[in-house]
Structure 1
């Protein structure tokens, strides 16, 4: 197809022509050999959001709410479609752990802090002595399994037909 035809078609359909890889609906349109590199933008988004709040003095309760409601929600949609690499999940959990234990003040002097508890323990439910943070590995598997279950339960859905084809 000629470049002029591509331009006309994209104008008529109202879609943007993307060269190579792009992101559509928050998901990468192409996945290369390195999944970690493909999904590294998730880690960057979490890092930017954490850094926007680093200079403010938040209590532990404030940090807990920030982690649970904002930072752990960022990769949820992507995790429902793809199994993320374990190394990326580990990196994200390390970032969240460092954010939890860091002590920031109004002068932007962030100290590392002592990690009194491992992330695995903090990810346990509160009834079991943890803080109820999300275990990303288990959550990722559950979300992908939910998609598979929907395909099995609805064999006439468009997604199921597309996979069978």
Structure 2
């Protein structure tokens, strides 16, 4: 097949467009190239000659942006997240010769917003989940896209993306994408249009209300009811 098509065989850990092509059970070695990239960047900067403001800019604009493309597709291992955070923390606090300086504040404190008096560094795990949730939102909004049609045919042909579950032999991209429905379902609320797709009892659709759901269902059996059943169309004529 290689000879007929005139193509070469791809090695297991080669990348395509900067992303790994095949991911095995060991996820950490697959994504360890992120650690190497950040370490090389930090080693090339003369940390002892930089002010705090310069270090802040370099960490936010460079060190914490190298992995943006990767974490928008894959959920990277927690161990790798911790190592990337540790590299940035060491650069921020600096070194005294070959000894590590004291870290006077935890990185969790430094990652808090500047509005709260902190440094506003990125929380890598939170950013990873936010990027995957953004991809999930695109899956909901752009149902005509090739990405949506491929994933739907393969992983959730009989349900919606928000109700999709992990299936046997699924890819790591899909496993990563499944982090999105949990986040989206916890924070999203329907904007009522014609009401044909919104479940009265199960979905969140009531605006300006803490739970966005009805508290006390009517005495009638509401299973299968959608919001359109509650709309009096004569009032709109």
Query: TM over 0.5, yes or no?
Result: yes
Please say if 1:139 is aligned against 2:131. no
Partner of 1:5: 4
Deviation at 1:133, TM superposition (A): 0.3
Deviation at 1:103, TM superposition (A): 4.2
- Cα 1:84–1:43 change in 2 (3 A) is same
**TM-score (ref. length: structure 1):** 0.86
Q: Any gaps of 5 or more consecutive residues in structure 1?
A: 11-15
Alignment of structure 1 residues 64-103 onto 2, 5 Å: 64-103=56-95
Contact 1:54 1:110 survives alignment (8 Å)? no
SS of the aligned residue for 2:82 comes to helix
Match of 1:44 among 17, 36, 51: 36
CA distance in 2, matches of 1:115, 1:63: 15
Q: Deviations over 1:85-140 (max 9, x none)?
A: 11110111011111100147xxxx45421111100000011111210100011110
Please say if 1:128 is aligned against 2:120. no
CA distance in 2, matches of 1:110, 1:126: 31
Q: Any gaps of 5 or more consecutive residues in structure 2?
A: 154-237
Is the radius of gyration larger for structure 1 or structure 2?
Answer: 2
Partner of 1:164: 152
CA RMSD, aligned part only?
1.6
**TM-score (ref. length: structure 2):** 0.61
Deviation at 1:19, TM superposition (A): 2.3
The structure that is helix-richer by fraction is 1
Aligned length: 153
